[in-house]
Amino acid sequence: MKKTLALLLALTMVFALCAAPAYAAPKTYKVGIAIYQFDDNFMTLYRNEMLDYFKSLETDDVKYDVTIVDGKNDMAEQNNQIDNFITQGMDAIILNLVQTSSADAAIDKIVDAGIPCILINREPLGDKGDESYEGILNNATVCYVGADARQSGTYQGEIIGELDNHGDINGDGKISYIMIEGDPENIDAQYRTEFSIKALKDAGYEVECLDDQIGNWAQAKGQEICANDLAKFGDKVEVVFCNNDAMALGAATAIQAAGRTVGKDIYLVGVDALEECVEMVNDGTMTGTVLNDAVGQSHAAVDVTVKALNGEAINNYYWVDYVKVTKAA
């Protein structure tokens, strides 16, 4: 009797074991993200959205172990971070370069290590400095995800050109402006500076550049440059072009401190459509901005990373559109 019971018990256990689903550990991909500088308003939105989106794509079977590092606007620091990512055996690297002129060396290392490389936000420049970078991106495991900065510049110019007085407040036949630029090596800064003015000229307007200064994308610099220019040129300044919204926020403070009124005796445009700037556009303290789609770009970057992790073919370029933002009618 005892034997029969023991046999039954043993058989039950064998059945139970066979019926239990096989336990499979989830597949975990290691992803390294190197950001040029955490202290940047737009890139903060962008990087947080990437982290959230990676999390949202996780399932019981697939996890993403994401490591994100701050390059502190220092290329030597970022090179070390890339070396560490390679040593840590990352399955993919998302790279927001500190210096696009260092693109070759950085990308070469990643490609040699057999790791897919997804470049974001800062498009490497061509040899001539005026063409999109075609060289190293011509590689099956390297791509650039971004927005065409020419479009954002054109939209800035159009926002001014479409005003009733086309930005010529004093009616002297020319639009007198100051330009506050991002970092000079950055194609976004170069194109926004060039194409905002080109849009006005193409529309047949005369322009006069009173000053053109480097603000390195930073709010405090934008404020300082704008304050100095308003003190120097006074009422002559009709339009303040800023390559991004952070600098436009600074410029707005300087404009207010100088007793000037946006929409009445001066115009102010930026790029990025930071939430506070969209509010300012709606309440009239900024003339306009251009949406630099952090959500669209970060999702596109993560989606292409996942494709590469799955061994699927990727394109070399992924473009996300800018959108003009003016006061809601």
User: Residues interacting with ligand GAL, by CB under 6 A?
Assistant: 40, 42-43, 121-122, 182, 186, 188, 217, 244, 246, 271-272, 292
Whole-number Å distance between alpha carbons of 243 and 183: 9
The distance of closest approach from Cβ of residue 42 to ligand GAL in the complex, given in angstroms and rounded to an integer, is: 3
> Which residue's CB is nearer to ligand GAL, number 40 or number 224?
40
Nearest to 248 by CA among 231, 223, 278, 284: 223
Minimum distance from CB of 182 to ligand GAL (Å)?
6
- To ligand GAL, the closest distance from the beta carbon of 106 in angstroms equals 15
Tell me the H-state helices in the chain.
2-19, 41-56, 75-87, 103-112, 149-161, 187-202, 219-233, 245-257, 275-283, 294-309
Between 39 and 104, name the residue whose CB sits nearer to ligand GAL: 39
> What is the number of H-type helices and E-type strands within the chain?
10, 12
Indicate the residue among 26 and 184 with the shorter CB distance to ligand GAL. Answer: 184
Q: What's the CA gap between 298 and 314, in Å, rounded? A: 16
Give ∠ CA 176-180-181 in degrees, rounded to 5: 130
> In angstroms, how far is the first alpha carbon of the chain from the final one?
90
Give 124 or 182: the residue with its C-beta nearer to ligand GAL: 182
The helix/strand/coil state of 141 is coil
Q: What's the rounded Cα separation, in Å, for the pair 229 and 180?
A: 10
Strands 323-325 and 239-242, sheet pairing? unpaired
Least Cβ distance, residue 173 to ligand GAL (angstroms): 32
Distance CA 244, CA 219 (A): 9
CB of 290 to ligand GAL, least distance (A): 9
- Are 192 and 292 in contact, with CB atoms under 8 Å apart? no
Place of tokens 């993403």: 64
Residue number with CB closer to ligand GAL (40 or 229) = 40
43 or 90, CB closer to ligand GAL? Answer: 43
Those residues whose C-beta lies under 8 Å from the C-beta of residue 148, and which sit 6 or more positions away, are 191, 319, 322
| 43 or 106: CB nearest ligand GAL | 43
Least distance from C-beta 292 to ligand GAL, angstroms?
Answer: 5
Between 123 and 158, name the residue whose CB sits nearer to ligand GAL. 123
CB of 215 to ligand GAL, least distance (A): 11
Q: How far is the CB of 201 from ligand GAL (least distance, A)?
A: 23
